[in-house]
Structure 1
């Protein structure tokens, strides 16, 4: 009887420890994903200073495949870093078709070119005191592209002399036997864009707790160090005559004044209005998806319950821009980081 009680008590203790799963040292970070020459805006600069955030994942450029020119960079990002930032992680988004259509020799050249361009832009755009110890590759790889993508990652590691990380979507996180474990030093689990927005009219495609739980529950410890990326952005999907037209990222508050709610996530436009380059008419439908503070809190609890974090883990928010940041106070942003340590 005593033995049974002891084992039951031990189980409760172990389960409680698993649920607590606090991160001792949270490295605070943001993604910076703009694609133009720019300086940080006032709200973004204030957030960095108030939250004592010193690390940025900066998208340097993207890579796509061109049938005539091969693999080419585009959407180059140039920015000036404020003095609050100590470390940047050059990040490159690579379209999956690059690996589907490239030979291994072409991937050797791609690794060389990416390493060269990162070092070039780093020298041109950032002060010498900025720390760069990691390159991150962002690609939604598939089973068909897996072998070549993993080959490329190994090649980049060998020539860069840097830590190499990659983004990890929830599908390959859960189905790792099928999708493979990328040959990198660590991964960043992207806890957003869980659903196809055009195929999920009743769900928030940015972040849906039930959908997230399906990928996290019942999974064993991932064999690599796992950092976390969380969304703080919102968007509106415009439908005219029940046909999808466009995604709008800005000026939401202006449009909200001219629409009425008709269902969960759905609104109807009540006045003709122009938002940026979009001409919106009475009767048009809007699906408004945003990530609330409450949703973030539930997400953090779910992550802490299901992931064995290392003592030092980076928590990165997507992304650093005045438009999404206006929906959060500095204290709310700060609490996202601190919640992982409580």
Structure 2
């Protein structure tokens, strides 16, 4: 009996152990479109955390029947420092771009994306800055999969760069159904797990039980996996019981004019203007925020359920002093170093 008991303990230990990363490359997403440079706090934070890599959203691509595909939300970030960071140009592409697209339009899209990225690198960044990787961000579906994958192949040929793309948890768990993108590596997005407007009782940014279910798979993903974690919070505004908008703001300051109603839900107690949005007494607010403890638990789950490579990039979303003020420098540093423990 003792032998079988010990054997069971050994098996449990083996299959519940976490997977340690030997070397973490620290990174942030930079997702702003209206800033010329980092704030002093953001610049200082990068140096204190020894972060040397940024995934910068260069622009987004929208689609309309009248205009076709067109870029919006172009970055205004400029960097001409001698000690420039490693910059990875990142482009967000709406899924609608790839629905019913022709091969000719996808060839044009790949050419335009490659051209515009290179134009921004030359105009807004140090010309000596070596850009080795482009990242594409798209929530592809079964209907858009083939066209999106074709675009990725064409971009690889044109750019002659390493191509990565973001990977949501659903296509991570079901690669046979959703396909494996033809890229060099993927970044697993461990947040935005559900539609924020459909489930009013869960935190749509990061729900640990939901994440566990998606990571519960016996098959290793066939591409190198990097990991992205959320460090942001937001409020969803409901006026006259109708969803109005999402606001990224200082959660601590906003709470001062909110009255708790039920888990995640608050009511505005004072007419206030926040981020150019007029909040009225009685407006309903769904506040989705993350603590350092939430993120640390997510890291434990990821380490336990995913076998990451020895060298992995961990990226926090995103570099914004208001959002990052919710965490101490020690906590932010731990979001990287915990993968090596």
Query: What TM-score bracket applies, with the shorter chain setting the length?
Result: over 0.9
Taking a change above 3 Å as real, the CA distance of residues 213 and 139 of structure 1, as seen in their structure-2 partners, is same
The residue that corresponds to 1:198 in the other structure is: 197
- 1:177 equivalent in alignment to 2:176: yes
Give, in angstroms, the shift of residue 84 of structure 1: 5.4
The residue that corresponds to 2:236 in the other structure is: 237
Taking a change above 3 Å as real, the CA distance of residues 56 and 107 of structure 1, as seen in their structure-2 partners, is same
The residue that corresponds to 2:20 in the other structure is: 22
Moved more, 257-266 or 78-87: 78-87
The residue that corresponds to 1:49 in the other structure is: 47
Taking a change above 3 Å as real, the CA distance of residues 85 and 221 of structure 1, as seen in their structure-2 partners, is farther
Give, in angstroms, the shift of residue 323 of structure 1: 1.4
Q: Distance in 2 between matches of 1:240 and 1:72?
A: 32
Give, in angstroms, the shift of residue 65 of structure 1: 1.6
Give, in angstroms, the shift of residue 310 of structure 1: 0.5
Taking a change above 3 Å as real, the CA distance of residues 274 and 153 of structure 1, as seen in their structure-2 partners, is same
Taking a change above 3 Å as real, the CA distance of residues 280 and 6 of structure 1, as seen in their structure-2 partners, is closer
Q: Distance in 2 between matches of 1:119 and 1:299?
A: 36
Q: Distance in 2 between matches of 1:186 and 1:65?
A: 26
Q: 1:74 aligns with which of 59, 72, 75?
A: 72
Give, in angstroms, the shift of residue 3 of structure 1: 9.0
Give, in angstroms, the shift of residue 280 of structure 1: 1.5
Give, in angstroms, the shift of residue 9 of structure 1: 6.9
Q: Give the conservation status (yes or no) of the 8 Å contact 1:228–1:315.
A: yes
SS at match of 1:246: strand
Taking a change above 3 Å as real, the CA distance of residues 238 and 68 of structure 1, as seen in their structure-2 partners, is closer
Q: Distance in 2 between matches of 1:233 and 1:166?
A: 21
Which string of whole-angstrom CA distances, capped at 9 and with x for unpartnered residues, describes residues 282-339 of structure 1? 2221111011111101100000011110010000000001110111111111011000
Q: Give the conservation status (yes or no) of the 8 Å contact 1:174–1:219.
A: no
Gaps (5+ residues) in structure 2? none
Give, in angstroms, the shift of residue 252 of structure 1: 3.2
Give, in angstroms, the shift of residue 218 of structure 1: 2.7
Give, in angstroms, the shift of residue 190 of structure 1: 0.6
SS at match of 1:101: coil
Give, in angstroms, the shift of residue 35 of structure 1: 1.0
Q: Distance in 1 between matches of 2:6 and 2:254?
A: 60
Gaps (5+ residues) in structure 1? none
Give, in angstroms, the shift of residue 108 of structure 1: 0.7
SS at match of 2:183: coil
Give, in angstroms, the shift of residue 276 of structure 1: 2.9
Q: Give the conservation status (yes or no) of the 8 Å contact 2:250–2:323.
A: no
Moved more, 67-76 or 198-207: 67-76
Give the structure-1-normalised TM-score: 0.94
Aligned ranges 1:68-217 → 2 under 5 Å: 68-81=66-79, 85-217=84-216
Taking a change above 3 Å as real, the CA distance of residues 2 and 275 of structure 1, as seen in their structure-2 partners, is closer
Give, in angstroms, the shift of residue 6 of structure 1: 8.7
- 1:11 equivalent in alignment to 2:22: no
Taking a change above 3 Å as real, the CA distance of residues 281 and 5 of structure 1, as seen in their structure-2 partners, is closer
The residue that corresponds to 1:310 in the other structure is: 309
Q: Give the conservation status (yes or no) of the 8 Å contact 2:56–2:90.
A: yes
Q: Distance in 2 between matches of 1:211 and 1:120?
A: 40
Give, in angstroms, the shift of residue 5 of structure 1: 8.0
Taking a change above 3 Å as real, the CA distance of residues 3 and 84 of structure 1, as seen in their structure-2 partners, is farther
Q: Alpha carbon RMSD of aligned pairs, Å?
A: 1.9
Q: Give the conservation status (yes or no) of the 8 Å contact 2:185–2:223.
A: yes
Q: How many residues align?
A: 340
Q: Distance in 2 between matches of 1:84 and 1:51?
A: 15
Which string of whole-angstrom CA distances, capped at 9 and with x for unpartnered residues, describes residues 103-127 of structure 1? 0011011111111111111111111
Give, in angstroms, the shift of residue 275 of structure 1: 1.7
Moved more, 246-255 or 217-226: 246-255
Give, in angstroms, the shift of residue 277 of structure 1: 2.4
